[in-house]
Amino acid sequence: MNRFDTLFQQLKAKNQGAFVPFVTLCDPDFDRSFDIIQTLVESGADALELGFPFSDPLLDGEVIQAANKRALEAGYRSDDCFALLAKVRAAYPDIPISLLLCANLVYAPTPERFYQRCQQAGVDAVLIADVPVAYADEFSQVAQRFGIAPVLICPPNADAATVEKIAQRSQGYTYLVSRAGVTSADNQQQAAHLDRLITALKRLDAAPILQGFGIATPEQVKASLTLGIDGAISGSAVVKIIEANLDDHSNCLNQLREFVQAMKGAAKR
């Protein structure tokens, strides 16, 4: 079992859902990014989903695009992200860590080297945002050789055949997208019939389901859990706090602490 498997077992025993924040590594810089991640963990985050800064993110809305730009303009690259991941893992040996990034970064220089570095840095899972299930095996096979769980996205318009493939292939967790479009805390509209996808994934014994896209309030966390999912991911709402406090790091950490505590509180059913 990896750390995600252990986490979901523990949460099930407590009748709790998971709250998982997302941030871009090295935003706005290496040291403040570590402070931010520390605050997320110590305020109650059950796991971390982290991104590498990238010039052409496909699923990210304006808020996370700006986070990527800040990190890149500050000169941070994948080597820095792996160094930061190693520092986080050393500080928090048990927290599950997932990466969400684009395939270009996995190919640099090769998938084998990328997943080896993930293993060395203590990463548990990797979700490649721009690789649909039909093309996932190329990456999944390499990931599993290095003990990394391949996570797949279940889109809101997935048909029965796609849902079945996702259930068979996703490990660690299954990422259920709330709606079509890009990430945004402002667009909180949820696609219709998510309950059907959740029922289908559970019937097929899929990996635990985490819902993302537009999750920005405790009320949304509670509503998602009533659908039967296992937890919620919030990215843009977290990154907006960072963006609003670039000149006041102490206030940034205080606001992140309050946000995570409220969101995790809502996940305690």
Provide the b/e sequence for 230-247 (b: ≥16 CB within 10 Å). Answer: bbbbbbbbbbbbbbebee
What is the per-residue pLDDT for 172? Answer: 98
What is the per-residue pLDDT for 182? Answer: 40
Angstrom distance (rounded) from CA 224 to CA 68: 28
What is the per-residue pLDDT for 214? Answer: 84
What is the per-residue pLDDT for 236? Answer: 93
**What are the beta bridge partners of residue 149?**
125
What is the per-residue pLDDT for 190? Answer: 54
Spell out the residues 6+ positions from residue 5 whose beta carbon is closer than 8 angstroms to its own.
172
What is the per-residue pLDDT for 59? Answer: 60
Q: Locate the domains of the chain by residue range.
A: 3-262
Query: Among this protein's residues, is 60 annotated catalytic?
Result: yes
- The number of CA neighbours under 13 Å toward the Cβ of 154 is 36
What is the per-residue pLDDT for 213? Answer: 87
Burial of 59 (0-12, 13-18, 19+ CB in 10 A): middle
Mean pLDDT of the chain: 93
- The number of CA neighbours under 13 Å toward the Cβ of 117 is 19
Query: Among this protein's residues, is 138 annotated catalytic?
Result: no
Cα separations in angstroms, 197 against 20, 173, 230: 21, 15, 14
Query: What letter represents residue 7's amino acid?
Result: L
Q: Which residues of the chain have pLDDT under 70?
A: 57-60, 179-192
**Catalytic residue (one of 27, 46, 49, 243):** 49
What is the per-residue pLDDT for 188? Answer: 42
**Catalytic residue (one of 46, 60, 80, 230):** 60
What is the per-residue pLDDT for 147? Answer: 98
Give domain 3-262's CATH superfamily. Answer: Aldolase class I (3.20.20.70)
φ, ψ of residue 151 in degrees (nearest 5): -105, 135
End-to-end CA distance of the chain: 26
Reported pTM: 0.94
Q: What is the pLDDT of residues 228-267, one digit of tens each?
A: 999 999 999 999 999 999 999 999 999 999 999 999 999 9
Q: Is the peptide bond before 28 cis (omega within 30 degrees of 0)?
A: yes
